[in-house]
Chain A
Amino acid sequence: MHIEILGSGCARCHSLEANVRKALQLLGKEAQVTAVTDMAQIMAYGVMSMPALVVDGKVLASGRVLSPEEVKRALVSAGI
């Protein structure tokens, strides 16, 4: 599973990344987590509000910082 955090390095983007790592810990799973800051790559997903959570190329959430619990549920439904 490949998890991407889209954002331009803002505080909210960092907290989403931290929550994703916490969620992975809670699940006891490992996954590749990348912070994507390149605008062309971000726009390719058609996302306009930062931060956004992308799993295996699918946009699961944008414009809000999901809590570790919410990330956990999103990852489970994405089939981690």
Chain B
Amino acid sequence: MLTLVADWFTYVLLRMPHGTVLSGAVQFFVYDIIKIYLLLAGVIFAVGLVQTWLPPEAIRGVLARHSRLMSHVLASLMGAVAPFCSCSAVPMFIGFVESGVPLGVTMTFLIASPMITPSGVVLLWGLFGAGTAALYVAFGLIISVVSGLIIGRLHLEHWVEDYVYQTKVGGHPVATLSLHERLRVGWNYVREIFRRVAPWVAAGVAIGAFIHGYAPADLLVRYAGADNPLGVLIAVLIGIPLYSNAEGVIPIVQALWAKGLPLGTALAFMMAVTGLSVPESLILRRVLKPKLLATFIGIVGVSIIVVGYLFNLVM
């Protein structure tokens, strides 16, 4: 079905000849972009819908109830399906900690959420295949759970800014939505994500279709390529200060991968860019004292590096 559309567009509408490199690339581009857009719309709509049943108030309630390990796992899963605007990080942190969610569990949620986003996973799925997307999710969940567990075990509550514990958190009744309103929320979510993500998807697919093999080797590939045992370490160190959302960094990851960077190294780079960043650190600095912020960056950074090497071993 999609092949038919792509064929029609390439060979009938554009009247390109069969069998040339360019027409093949155009056909591939059209096919891939339709496939990924459809996938994206479906998944985003479903996630948007699920989120209406999972407001932070509900997540907080679930997390305060379960045993230690279970609550870390749940925090990680919920962070993955409930991406929040980075402007909500501070109120969520205060709201969680104040209502008795342990610090480590809160950190697990905050680590998983920007690293694993539904739209990012769909892009990985579309561009690298389902296996890679699944491994990325699995490793992201493991990193957030392990980092949160360590932070919890270190008992660093006194390194949280004091005002957090003094803030009075009011309760407001969560308005219940009708099914119609929920569907509207899902649809609005699709539109919002699409506006933001569509150009990046096109860039990613275009890179896959056209630039594959042509781009010159650049800095990262030269210093973090397959033959360098320190590759993952270097890629993560370069990625930490950079900031982008998952959708924006995926075309770069694809270009790097096409140029021969091992997949584990490329994905560790992506995790470092999305999970740790200067702007996010500045936001978290408002609730974490410098020592805790540094510990957080250190633990998450080391976990990403370890996982990057594991990924390279597995692939």
Known contacts A8-B90, A10-B86, A50-B91: A43-B188 contact under CB 8 Å: no
Of B56, B84, B94, the contact of A39 (CB 8 Å cutoff): B94
- CB within 8 Å for A49 and B91 given contacts A10-B85, A39-B167: yes
A7 at the interface (CB under 8 A from B): yes
Residue of A nearest to B171 (CB): A46
* Residues of the A chain whose Cβ atoms lie less than 8 Å from the Cβ of B172: 45-47, 59
Measured as residues with beta carbon below 8 angstroms from the partner, the interface class of chain A is 20 to 34
**What are 12 inter-chain pairs, A to B, with CB distance below 8 A?**
A7-B87, A8-B91, A12-B85, A13-B87, A39-B167, A40-B168, A43-B169, A47-B91, A49-B91, A63-B84, A63-B85, A64-B185
Within 8 A of A (CB), among B80-97: 84-88, 90-92, 94-96
Q: Which chain B residues border A44 with CB–CB below 8 Å? A: 168-170
User: Contacts A39-B167, A49-B91 given; 15 further ones with Cβ under 8 A?
Assistant: A10-B85, A39-B286, A43-B95, A43-B167, A46-B169, A46-B171, A48-B56, A48-B88, A49-B85, A49-B88, A50-B85, A50-B87, A63-B55, A63-B84, A65-B188
| Set B56, B163, B169, B185: member contacting A49, Cβ < 8 A | B56
CA distance A65 to B87 in the complex (A): 13
- Interchain CB contact (< 8 A) of A67 among B95, B188, B286: B188
Q: Which residues of A contact B60 (CB under 8 A)?
A: 48
A34 CB to nearest chain B CB (Å): 17
Closest to A64 in B: B185
- Minimum C-beta distance from B44 to chain A (A): 14
Determine if A61 is an interface residue (Cβ-Cβ < 8 Å).
yes
Instruction: Decide: A45 near B167, CB < 8 A? Known: A12-B85, A39-B90, A63-B55.
Output: no
Tell me whether B162 is interfacial, beta carbon within 8 Å: no
Flag if B85 contacts A62 (CB, 8 Å). no
Shortest CB distance B281–A (Å): 15
- Which positions 11-62 of chain A face chain B at CB distance < 8 Å? 12-13, 39-40, 42-51, 59-62
Pick from B55, B163, B286: contact of A62, CB under 8 Å: B55
Please give the distance in Å from B239's CB to the nearest CB on chain A: 23
Q: A49 CA to B88 CA in the complex, in Å?
A: 5
Classify the interface of chain A: helix, strand, loop or mixed: loop
Max chain A CB contacts within 10 Å: which of B55, B84, B98, B172?
A: B172
| CB-nearest residue of chain B to A44 | B170
Please give, as numbers and ranges, the residues of chain A lying within 8 Å of B94 by CB-CB distance: 39, 43
Are B92 and A48 closer than 8 Å at their CB atoms?
Answer: yes
Interface string of A61-80 (1 = CB under 8 A from B): 11111010000000000000
The 3 A-B residue pairs with the shortest CB-CB distance in the complex, in nearest-first order: A10-B87, A48-B56, A46-B170
Using Cβ atoms and an 8 Å threshold, which residues of chain B touch A59? 172, 175
Q: How far is the CB of A45 from chain B (nearest CB, A)?
A: 5
Closest to B48 in A: A64
Q: A63: which B residues are within 8 A, CB to CB?
A: 55-56, 84-85, 88
Instruction: Provide the bound-state CA to CA distance between A72 and B188, in Å.
Output: 17
User: Across the interface, do A9 and B91 meet the contact criterion of CB distance under 8 Å?
Assistant: no
Shortest distance between the CB of A11 and any CB in chain B (Å): 8
Taking the closest CB of chain A, its distance from the CB of B181, in whole angstroms, is 9
For B92, the chain A residues whose CB sits under 8 A away are 48-49
Residues of chain B within 8 A of A46, CB atoms compared? 57, 95, 169-172
Specify the chain A residue showing the minimal Cβ separation from B60: A48
Given A48-B56, A63-B56, verify A43-B85 contact (CB < 8 Å).
no
Residue of B nearest to A63 (CB): B55
